[in-house]
């Protein structure tokens, strides 16, 4: 039965690259720690504030 895991990260101006690298590390650690062998999909979406500026990212993984 496929499972779904969601990860989130805040994004700050001038720090985005580092924050995305940290998100990648978090996801990779989860996959390794849980011995995930099959990934069905990975999806990223952004969140915005009341002014329409990007303030975060949500990464969702479907895996088995």
Measured CA distances, 39 to 5, 30, 54, 60 (Å): 11, 12, 27, 11
Q: Mean pLDDT throughout 21-43?
A: 96
Percent of the chain with pLDDT over 70: 100
Q: Is the confidence at residue 24, as pLDDT, over 90?
A: yes
Report the alpha-carbon distance of residue 27 to residue 49 in Å, rounded: 24
């Amino acid at each position: 039965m496929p499972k779904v895991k969601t990860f989130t990260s805040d994004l700050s101006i001038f720090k985005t690259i580092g924050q995305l690298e940290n998100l990648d590390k978090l996801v990779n650690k989860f996959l390794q720690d849980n011995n995930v062998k099959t990934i069905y999909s990975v999806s990223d979406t952004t969140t915005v504030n009341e002014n329409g500026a990007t303030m975060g990212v949500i990464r969702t993984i479907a895996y088995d």
